[in-house]
Chains A and B, each alone.
Chain A
Amino acid sequence: MKNVIFGLALLILIILKIYLYLQLGPTTPEYLHLYRAGSLLRYGRDEIGNPLPPLFHGPTGYQLPLLDYLLVPVPSGLIFDLLLWLLPAALVLVAFRSHFLGLVFLAQPLFLWPGSWPAKLFLFLVTVFLLALRRRAVLPAAIVVLLCLETVTDAYLLLPLFLLGLIFFRPYRRFSLQVFSITLFLILAIGLLTARVPGIRQSFVAAHFGLFTNPQVTTTINSLRGEHLLSRTSYLSKLLHNKLTFGYIILQNSARILNPSFLFGLGDKDPFSSSQKIPPLLIVLLPFLFISLFHLRRLPRPILWLTAVSLLIVSLPSTVPIESQLFIFSLSLCFLITSHLTPRLFLSAAAVSLLLLVPMVYFSIHYLPPLVWVARSGGLENIIRLSRDNSPTPLLLADDVYPDPGPFLAYSMRIPPPVNLQPKYHYRNYLRQVNNIEIVSPTDPRLTALDVIPVVATGQLRQYISNPLDRWDTVVSDPFNHPLLSRLIYAKPKI
């Protein structure tokens, strides 16, 4: 009977997941993956015309290829999103024989929310790796390690830490030789993979060690050394404020992810983070986490190992919170929370399921979708319709409401990729021109031309209209009917 309850809860969660995906769709980076996969399938080349490349060009650097190649045979983003959500849960459920763990895992906002595909794929591979380790299957574990290295650059740092943790904590007895051999294999693999393209090293260093080149930090240190003290320059300040400050900031950044208001409250405040205003974990689990900490001593050794390693992982010197770290950390918290709290009776199972589902349903259906509607490219289909109705007249879209609409437009309009563009790294330029839609700066002078269709932020209309006879039509309104984008219709030629 308990399993029926869990099954029902799972069914509700699946419906919720599908609803969320249909309501919101993926994030901008995921649209890029989808478009790229479609392009590889249809034309055998990526979005900038490279035939079956070993690395892709992303908006902020190189992107590792596994995700995109895995996405090629998948018919839709929804199925891929569902698979990335369900498969790790199924694996932990099998590995740890806990339905409850699977349910807690699936019900968390971080995992349920559509998007974050590279991090979710990495998490899935890590769960496969855990299962392989549990079954002492060295070869599959080594293969998974290799696959992980083709998923996200974070893996180059996180995986060695995992294996170090294995050697240090020894969660599985009589296993050190196998772990040692996997570690050796990993070192070799990392060496070989990073040697092939310098871009990996670049992306990796920028993502994980960007702190050391951050000018704001250097300015702060100089200021503390005495620049702002004027005549009162202190030798003590010079002694105290030096390169060690970087270590201080690294520690400070690590502490960020342990912030309960981030984990259970309003999530990340960074507007560019995909987990903005979404707490990774449900607040209802907080008391259970305390209970688990209370019984920390009785926790199984593998869970302690995973928790310790994930704590180590979040202490990396990154300048921005890295999603893969957060996913691994949240997974370990799910393990911690459920380790002592497996409901055995029908009633307790029903109560726990309700506790997980009710906030999640409200949270997902009512609270968050309107908040991220713009960030998830909501309403951009109206732009496509407008451009098709007026084709081939160029449509100029000012980019102050949707900062990066290119991937969505390219995916939705299914435009063919160019043939081997030169130079290769000009992703931004390429996806700013999709058929007859061009994404332009709000100050672009062409927005006042007569032979184009200018679409601008409704809130900024005043700066484009000087003639009282000029008109505008609302093209996109948000879910609460607030106009967002308007088409300018000029009455007479501008001089």
Chain B
Amino acid sequence: MPNPKYKFYLIFIIVVAAILRLFWLHRLPVSLSVDEVSIGYNAYSLFTTGRDQYQRPLPLVFESLGDFKPPVYIYLTVVSQFLFGLTEFAVRFPSAVFGVLAVLLTFMITYRLTRRKDLALLAGLLLAISPWHIRFTRGSYEANVALVFLLGAFYSLLNFRRPTLGPVLLILSMYTYHTPKLLAPLLGLGMWFIYKKSLPKSTLLAMLLLLPLLFAGGQTRVGQTLITGDVEINTTISQSLGQLQISRAWLVVWSVINRYLQYFDPSFLFFRGLDLTLNQVVDVGVAYLVELPIFIIGLSVVIRRRLFPKALWWWIIISPLPAGLTLNDYHPIRSLTLVLPLVMIITVGITSILDRLPLAKYLLVAAYLANFIFVADYYLLHTAMQKSDYSFDPLKAVAISALKNSPHYSKIVIDPQFGKDGPYIMGVPDVYILFYGRIHPRVYWASRTPEGFANYAFRHIEWTLDKAMPHTLLIGSPWSLPEHDIAPSQVQEVIRYHNHQPAYLVVKT
């Protein structure tokens, strides 16, 4: 890259990407999710003892909350914790860094495909400011790290001189998140068939060796999320199609097709895919609304001038497959790989507009800026408020309160069930206490009891019985601690959701 101007632009884009992903990383999203806390404590346990939370030495599959996690993200968090300690920032840091790497790789892939630096820079910039990518790089989402490995593999296989790196990165992606277990072999084999004249035969062999990895851990997760477990489908089968096996198969296949096609729905892409609000009357798409006309123009240019190579079309075709085979309509994380073609189509659209109307760049910048502010308003203000009632926001405060009071009480009982409309949310306050208390794993292992560890017990609070326990602190939701039966002097603290509604009461007996 001899021209220093392009270098400067690229550095500028990387800096923008880094700012958007790293700034206030510990505060936005407002609280660590259950998965993030679990990842953080497992990494801490590995870092300090070489074993995971359940005392398994250097595992390749991590037992998590109800499922099994692939290992790569947790090992990356170990490195991050080496640098920053056991903090919220350290847990999210690998994801943010890989988000910045994805921007660089998008630049490289676009340049490899088009040989045009301006296009490559634009594609990189669009990914840097993409709401889809920003949202999922600001949390510990393994999908985002897996995306980087897939992008790396894609670039490597496009760049025929170094094809061996491709299969290695594909393997890494399969050990990072569950969707690449299907995507990686399909991508690898597809790429080999498309470029078989240029790629050495050893690459095919490496791709074929990927197939057994499909069964390497994570089956529990696959079993939990497979579309055959869908309630609506099973209800339909049991109610009206229960007579023939062929009907069941037909309905499942039909539902897979239906779910697969949802990821090409303009509403998902431009209006409500990001799922930032609760009622979804208005929401934000995975791409900016302003990109809708640009996308249409870009797509028509891509089709008309046959700009995309077969490999990129293959990427588009296979990207929604894992999401199509699993539960949940419109899942923006499982379909994150679609962000690459989306960005590239919009890049083509912008370029063709600017080729004809150079002055439109001012309009485009203004439109993007307005749309960015619009999305930021949702992301910074409304999401945390609207989703607060259904999030794990209060658990950090619960953990801090429990840790603060721990020396003063002989027992602290914490009810893991809470929720606004009823005790429907099952939290894991034990992991939050381990995380925020930076409790050494050996201390934790040594002090475990049937109900919890040390003087903490994690179980449902039975107020009529528990109120008689001496010198005990009860931390539970108003569903288990009836306010009318508690003297105000007993209430030590009221822990609230982000929207200020009461979530937990801290009550001494």
**A451: interface (CB < 8 Å):** no
**A224: interface (CB < 8 Å):** yes
Known: A237-B381, A480-B240. A255 touches B247 (CB 8 A): no
Contact with B499, one of A230, A293, A371 (Cβ below 8 angstroms):
A230
CA distance A283 to B265 in the complex (A): 15
Chain A residues closer than 8 Å to B255, beta-carbon distance:
266
**B259: interface (CB < 8 Å):** yes
Contact B381 A220 (CB under 8 A): no
**B262: interface (CB < 8 Å):** yes
Contact B271 A367 (CB under 8 A): no
Contact A259 B267 (CB under 8 A): yes
Chain A residue nearest to B370 (CB atoms) is: A240
Contact with B272, one of A217, A252, A293 (Cβ below 8 angstroms):
A252
CA distance A260 to B386 in the complex (A): 30
Chain A residues closer than 8 Å to B366, beta-carbon distance:
none
Chain A residues closer than 8 Å to B373, beta-carbon distance:
236, 240
CA distance A178 to B135 in the complex (A): 55
Residues of A contacting B: mostly: helix
CA distance A228 to B239 in the complex (A): 41
Contact with B241, one of A220, A261, A370 (Cβ below 8 angstroms):
A370
Chain A residue nearest to B268 (CB atoms) is: A259
Contact with B250, one of A248, A256, A367 (Cβ below 8 angstroms):
A367
Contact B267 A265 (CB under 8 A): no
**A243: interface (CB < 8 Å):** no
CA distance A240 to B239 in the complex (A): 46
- Chain B 350-389, CB within 8 Å of chain A: the 1/0 string? 0000000000000000000000011001000110011000
CA distance A294 to B265 in the complex (A): 19
- Chain A 260-274, CB within 8 Å of chain B: the 1/0 string? 111011100000000
* Chain B residues touching A, range: 35 or more
**B303: interface (CB < 8 Å):** yes
**A366: interface (CB < 8 Å):** yes
Contact A237 B377 (CB under 8 A): yes
Among A216, A264, A370: residue with most chain B CB under 10 A: A370
Contact B499 A249 (CB under 8 A): no
**A234: interface (CB < 8 Å):** yes
- Chain B 254-275, CB within 8 Å of chain A: the 1/0 string? 1101111110111100111000
Cβ distance B466 to chain A, nearest Cβ, rounded Å? 33
Contact with A266, one of B240, B254, B281 (Cβ below 8 angstroms):
B254
State which residues 388-443 of B face A: CB under 8 Å.
Answer: none
Contact A234 B381 (CB under 8 A): yes
**A478: interface (CB < 8 Å):** yes
CA distance A467 to B201 in the complex (A): 79
Contact A260 B385 (CB under 8 A): no
Cβ distance A171 to chain B, nearest Cβ, rounded Å? 19
Contact with A229, one of B242, B262, B304, B385 (Cβ below 8 angstroms):
B385
CA distance A266 to B257 in the complex (A): 9
Contact with B374, one of A228, A240, A367 (Cβ below 8 angstroms):
A240
Contact A260 B500 (CB under 8 A): no
Cβ distance B239 to chain A, nearest Cβ, rounded Å? 7
Contact A367 B267 (CB under 8 A): no
- Chain A 463-495, CB within 8 Å of chain B: the 1/0 string? 000000000000000111010000000000000
Contact A224 B500 (CB under 8 A): no
Contact A228 B281 (CB under 8 A): no
**B198: interface (CB < 8 Å):** no
**B279: interface (CB < 8 Å):** yes
Contact B261 A252 (CB under 8 A): no
CA distance A282 to B266 in the complex (A): 20
Contact B267 A252 (CB under 8 A): yes
Chain A residue nearest to B266 (CB atoms) is: A255
Chain A residues closer than 8 Å to B270, beta-carbon distance:
255
Contact with A245, one of B242, B266, B282 (Cβ below 8 angstroms):
B282
Chain A residues closer than 8 Å to B241, beta-carbon distance:
367, 370
**B289: interface (CB < 8 Å):** yes
Cβ distance A369 to chain B, nearest Cβ, rounded Å? 9
CA distance A480 to B237 in the complex (A): 12
Known: A217-B281, A220-B281. A265 touches B240 (CB 8 A): no
Cβ distance A483 to chain B, nearest Cβ, rounded Å? 13
Q: For the complex, count residues of A whose C-beta is within 8 A of B.
A: 43
CA distance A256 to B266 in the complex (A): 7
Chain A residues closer than 8 Å to B236, beta-carbon distance:
371
**A341: interface (CB < 8 Å):** no
CA distance A304 to B377 in the complex (A): 40
Cβ distance B413 to chain A, nearest Cβ, rounded Å? 31
**A296: interface (CB < 8 Å):** yes
Chain B residue nearest to A221 (CB atoms) is: B282
CA distance A99 to B481 in the complex (A): 74
Contact B304 A261 (CB under 8 A): no
Contact A265 B257 (CB under 8 A): yes
Contact B303 A296 (CB under 8 A): yes
**B300: interface (CB < 8 Å):** yes
Cβ distance B289 to chain A, nearest Cβ, rounded Å? 7
Contact with B281, one of A236, A249, A478, A482 (Cβ below 8 angstroms):
A249
Cβ distance A360 to chain B, nearest Cβ, rounded Å? 13
CA distance A236 to B386 in the complex (A): 17
Chain A residues closer than 8 Å to B304, beta-carbon distance:
296-297
**B489: interface (CB < 8 Å):** no
Chain B residues closer than 8 Å to A196, beta-carbon distance:
none
**B243: interface (CB < 8 Å):** yes
Chain A residue nearest to B256 (CB atoms) is: A265
Chain B residues closer than 8 Å to A232, beta-carbon distance:
381
Chain B residues closer than 8 Å to A294, beta-carbon distance:
303
- Chain B 176-203, CB within 8 Å of chain A: the 1/0 string? 0000000000000000000000000000
CA distance A245 to B378 in the complex (A): 13
CA distance A232 to B259 in the complex (A): 39
Chain A residue nearest to B251 (CB atoms) is: A367
Known: A228-B385, A237-B377, A480-B242. A260 touches B261 (CB 8 A): yes
Contact A362 B250 (CB under 8 A): yes
**A354: interface (CB < 8 Å):** no
Contact B258 A234 (CB under 8 A): no
**A70: interface (CB < 8 Å):** no
Contact B279 A220 (CB under 8 A): yes
CA distance A125 to B373 in the complex (A): 47
**A8: interface (CB < 8 Å):** no
Among B250, B260, B270, B281: residue with most chain A CB under 10 A: B281
**A258: interface (CB < 8 Å):** yes
Contact A249 B374 (CB under 8 A): no
CA distance A41 to B500 in the complex (A): 66
Contact A478 B240 (CB under 8 A): yes
Contact with B271, one of A252, A264, A296, A370 (Cβ below 8 angstroms):
A252
Contact B261 A234 (CB under 8 A): no
Contact B258 A261 (CB under 8 A): yes
Known: A217-B281, A255-B271, A264-B261. A234 touches B239 (CB 8 A): no
- Nearest first, the 10 closest Cβ-Cβ pairs linking A and B are A265-B258, A261-B261, A255-B266, A259-B265, A260-B261, A370-B240, A220-B281, A252-B271, A261-B262, A266-B258
Question: Could you name 10 residue pairs across A and B whose Cβ atoms are closer than 8 Å?
Answer: A220-B281, A224-B382, A228-B382, A228-B386, A245-B282, A251-B271, A256-B267, A259-B262, A261-B265, A266-B258
Q: A259-B265, A264-B261, A265-B262 are in contact. List 7 more A-B contacts (CB 8 A).
A: A224-B282, A236-B377, A248-B271, A256-B267, A261-B264, A265-B258, A296-B300
